[in-house]
A and B are shown apart, each in its own frame.
Chain A
């Protein structure tokens, strides 16, 4: 752990990403205690108020302006990050677990299981992720749970492919062969011996996937298929604010910057993790 942070301190980009991610996560967790206005309370007297920086700490200040219903944009962005980050994290965990386990099974069993799984991956690759997501959300209905399922569905195959490749090489190594020789069962070998050895690549993929999923989540919300109103979600704020683009530029601008900064910092952290732990993954996207 100490070595990890020492290496992190040496990389300016990695450190920057790590700090920024930490700030966003802290802001999301502490959102209700930051003294921000209630994100869903509208105030028709302060509709579409422009960003003001005077009297920043007075009660009626809106540093990023208000939207068409007079709701504070800063507060909606911070509260929106709770939903956005929770959905993205849940999807990454779900997709990561399913993809990693299937990758281990395919790589360890090889043969028929492997061929069938990899064919399924090929089939899904031929279908653009966005179309698949649109179809599945339309079929299941838009809800937070379904959104997580859809996002995980677009993600599992990246783990499955790369982890399978790693396991194909690992299964011929002595420690696996000897585990097999002393009579360890298949599940024991897969979970106790193979899984710990593929955790690092899985974590690297997970970080890079988190960034992709945040953008995809925003895109789905933008098309009206994400979190339902009045809950603030970044994509939804963009879609609603787009209507007022000629009169109130701030409504649509700031949620986008929030997405950009979050994705940028997660990407920086992910790139650094990849370079640090597993440079070979670089060309395996």
Chain B
């Protein structure tokens, strides 16, 4: 188990290094931030001086090595726009993004799990049909459009919730609902097909044949195994949501991580792009590592490997 973990950890560090490297070189193609930072009509001398002070006049490989070594020490540089440590700029937005991601995951998973279980257990009934049609619609709806429609009905027409911004529970309702629809639709469909697969397994028949209560069979033999692909999916969704859903944050003017990275891309604020992407990748990897460990808890066969 320790060896397995050490291997996973090494893979994770390699992946984060890869992400940082790709982002470094892609973001250098964006343009020259010095031009954006200085007022229009600034002279060549000012440009050169600013480039030198930002370290942008050095060869690109030297810049790369300097920034990677600094990142290892936890130093992501100073944001060009905000004149503060880049990682601080991103981390400040994390609680706002985490609130939205947590809400959507909690409600999305609960609704999705109940709906998926109903669809599998009540096979061939009207309940299954309703759940499946709702899930198909939920998966086919572009989330940002759903957000706009909810604003149209609940903010513009009814005036129940604010159209955007953050800070109170009322601000959280519409973006939370929008993302929950997407999360629950994916989970309901996957859980249903996973449950139906497991129900056909021989060991489930054996468990039933030896006279166990249907409830025991469902929770201990079926649900436990059917949850494995669902947990993988929850891990991927959690990683994506914690990275900040750029479009949803744009629709609801939600000041989260996704928006700050998008603004940094537009402003060519390299340190913030680097810090943001490194953080998002690290979160994604940690969440998936946690999912890997959960497999072992659910399925003893994996633990022994």
Interchain CB contact under 8 A, B277 and A252: no
Within A204-246, the residues touching B (CB, 8 Å) are 211, 215, 218-219, 222-223, 238, 242, 245-246
Interchain CB contact under 8 A, B142 and A218: yes
B136 within 8 A of A: yes
Shortest CB–CB separation between residue B287 and chain A, in angstroms?
10
Interchain CB contact under 8 A, A222 and B243: no
B29 within 8 A of A: yes
Q: Inside 8 A of B284's CB, which chain A residues have their CB?
A: 125-128
Interchain CB contact under 8 A, A211 and B140: yes
CA distance A267 to B57 in the complex (A): 50
Shortest CB–CB separation between residue B145 and chain A, in angstroms?
4
Query: Given the known A-B contacts A249-B152, A283-B229, are A135 and B26 also in contact in the complex, defined by CB atoms under 8 Å?
Result: yes
Interchain CB contact under 8 A, A260 and B266: no
Shortest CB–CB separation between residue B241 and chain A, in angstroms?
10
CA distance A222 to B22 in the complex (A): 25
Interchain CB contact under 8 A, B152 and A215: no
A119 within 8 A of B: yes
Majority secondary structure of chain A interface residues (helix, strand, loop or mixed): helix
Kindly state the interface size class of chain A when it binds its partner: 35 or more
Interchain CB contact under 8 A, B156 and A123: no
Mask of B208-221 contacts with A, CB within 8 angstroms, 1/0: 00000000000000
Interchain CB contact under 8 A, A223 and B19: no
Which of the listed residues A119, A127, A139, A261 has the most CB atoms from chain B within 10 Å of its own CB? A127
A9 within 8 A of B: no
CA distance A222 to B29 in the complex (A): 23
CA distance A120 to B281 in the complex (A): 14
B194 within 8 A of A: yes
Query: Given the known A-B contacts A123-B19, A128-B243, A256-B142, are A139 and B29 also in contact in the complex, defined by CB atoms under 8 Å?
Result: yes
Within B233-280, the residues touching A (CB, 8 Å) are 233, 239-240, 243, 245-247, 250-251, 258, 261-262, 265-266, 273, 277, 280
Q: Inside 8 A of B190's CB, which chain A residues have their CB?
A: 283, 285
Shortest CB–CB separation between residue A83 and chain B, in angstroms?
16
CA distance A189 to B266 in the complex (A): 47
A259 within 8 A of B: yes
Q: Inside 8 A of B246's CB, which chain A residues have their CB?
A: 130-131, 134, 223
CA distance A211 to B149 in the complex (A): 21
Shortest CB–CB separation between residue A39 and chain B, in angstroms?
20
Shortest CB–CB separation between residue A10 and chain B, in angstroms?
16
Query: Given the known A-B contacts A123-B22, A126-B15, A131-B246, are A219 and B136 also in contact in the complex, defined by CB atoms under 8 Å?
Result: no
Interchain CB contact under 8 A, A238 and B144: yes
Shortest CB–CB separation between residue A51 and chain B, in angstroms?
15
